[in-house]
Amino acid sequence: MVTGIITAVITGALIGCVYSLIALGIVLIYKTTQVFNLAQGEMLLIGTWLTWTMITVANLPFWLSLIIALLFSILLGMLIERFILRPMLGQPLLPIIMITIGIFSLLRGISIYFWGGEVQSFPPLFPIEVITIGFIPVSTHLLAAAIMATLLVIVTYAYFRFTRGGLAMMATAENVMIAQSLGTNVKAAFSRSWAISAMVGTLSGVLLGSIMGIFFGLSDLSFKAFPVIILGGLESIPGVLVAGPIMGICESLGATFLDPMVGGGIGDIVPYVVMLIVLVIRPSGLFGYKIIERV
């Protein structure tokens, strides 16, 4: 029993790290542009499909395929921002969110049109062996994916915290007009956020695809990132790093303890229940900004 619980906790935490990476893509855009990008899952998928295409059709080595896919993702993110989102600057929030839903549908259609609905295998990025940490069996694949995801989140945080570009993006998020008046290239900041987000999406898609295979349903995993974002805080990069494993553990423990009581399927709901509780008690999340408006 204890072994089972500890195994569930560790595995949940590892999976949660991958959720963090997916969530990072959404937080990045929100942090800079205040737009909640509902198309993140599809951007993840397009980048993953491109990587697969370069490997299987163009017969390129994995690292080169990934670089090309990342470059394309950057371009895709910038194009979406420039031609679809930028004209909506200053518009109410709801139409902007609706537009991201439209982008979601468009990209889904593109992915199905070009790559179809079948499952495709992705070359394993890491060894498939199982290692034992103490008495806990851990998939090497999952462990490596979790480490990579964590490193990427830390690197992204460092970019925002310690580089001029990152600080410019944060300033833009705080107040566009003030940032602009101080000489910040706001449009470039917006563009950069979408580009980085698309890149992060591709990386998380490649990690997930190597575990589960690639098919268009992979993009639906982006919905698992929503509880992570809410718990961590919409604008907080450290928040997703903490919230991801927490939600992964909640999911895993929910499946361990609650599934036998109700017949199954509860594990995946638990993070959303936690999300609802967080929204009621602390809407800004663990590390998000509390906004106080003076009337």
Partner 1 sequence: MTKKKMYCLISVVITLSLVLGCISCAPKAAAPAEKPAAKRTVTVTVGALLDESGPTATSTLPGVYGLRDFNDYVNKKGGLDWSGGKVIVQVEEYDNRYDPSLSLPAYEKWAARGIPLIITHQSTDNLGLKDRAARDQIVILTLSPTSGALMPPGWVFATYPSYADSFTGFLDWVKKTWDWKGKGTPRVATLTWDTAYGKAHMCAVDYAKEIGIDYVGTEYTTTLPTDITPQVTRLKAMKADYVFTQAVTPIAVYLKDFKRLGFNGRLVVGLNTGLSEWIPIAGVDTAAGTLSVKGLTMISAEPEDSRYMKKAREVTEFLGVTRDLRALTFYPNGTSGIMLIQDIIVRALDKVGDPDKVTGKVLYDTLLETKKYDTLGATMPLSYDETQRRGSMGIRMYEAQPDGNVTMIQDWMVVHDALKHYPECAK
Q: Which of 49, 52, 72, 122 binds partner 1 (CB under 8 A)?
A: 122
Element (H, E) at 158: helix 140-162
Q: Smallest distance, Å, CB 191 to partner 1?
A: 30
| Closest to partner 1 by CB, 86 or 108 | 108
Total number of residues that touch partner 1 (CB under 8 A) = 47
- Whole-angstrom distance between the N-terminal and C-terminal Cα of the chain? 55
Q: Helix (H) and strand (E) counts for the chain?
A: 12, 2
256 binds partner 1 (CB under 8 A): yes
Q: How far apart, in whole angstroms, are the C-alpha atoms of residue 257 and residue 289?
A: 34
- Residue type at 257? F
Q: Smallest distance, Å, CB 130 to partner 1?
A: 5
Q: Smallest distance, Å, CB 199 to partner 1?
A: 22
263 binds partner 1 (CB under 8 A): yes
Q: How many CB atoms lie within 10 A of CB 248?
A: 27
Element (H, E) at 131: strand 130-133
Q: How far apart, in whole angstroms, are the C-alpha atoms of residue 228 and residue 242?
A: 9
128 binds partner 1 (CB under 8 A): yes
Handedness of CA 149, 154, 156, 157 (dihedral sign): positive
| Closest to partner 1 by CB, 89 or 212 | 212
Q: Which of 61, 87, 102, 260 binds partner 1 (CB under 8 A)?
A: 260
| Closest to partner 1 by CB, 114 or 161 | 114
215 binds partner 1 (CB under 8 A): yes
Query: Is the Cβ–Cβ distance between 32 and 172 less than 8 Å?
Result: yes
Q: Which of 89, 93, 220, 283 binds partner 1 (CB under 8 A)?
A: 220
Question: Structure tokens of 293?
Answer: 């408006």
| Closest to partner 1 by CB, 236 or 252 | 252
Handedness of CA 141, 143, 145, 148 (dihedral sign): negative
219: helix, coil or strand?
Answer: helix
241: helix, coil or strand?
Answer: helix
| Closest to partner 1 by CB, 61 or 124 | 124
| Closest to partner 1 by CB, 4 or 95 | 4
Q: Which of 102, 124, 161, 276 binds partner 1 (CB under 8 A)?
A: 124
Longest dimension (CA), the chain: 61
| Closest to partner 1 by CB, 77 or 227 | 227
Q: What angle do CA 93, 96, 102 make, to 5 degrees?
A: 145
Q: Smallest distance, Å, CB 248 to partner 1?
A: 8
273 binds partner 1 (CB under 8 A): no
- Residue type at 138? V
18 binds partner 1 (CB under 8 A): yes
Residue-wise DSSP of 191-207: HHHHHHHHHHHHHHHHH
61 binds partner 1 (CB under 8 A): no
Q: What is the binding site for partner 1 (CB under 8 A)? A: 4, 7-8, 11-12, 15, 18, 108-109, 112, 116-122, 124, 128, 130, 137-139, 141-142, 208, 211-213, 215-218, 220-221, 224, 251-252, 255-256, 259-260, 263-265, 267-268
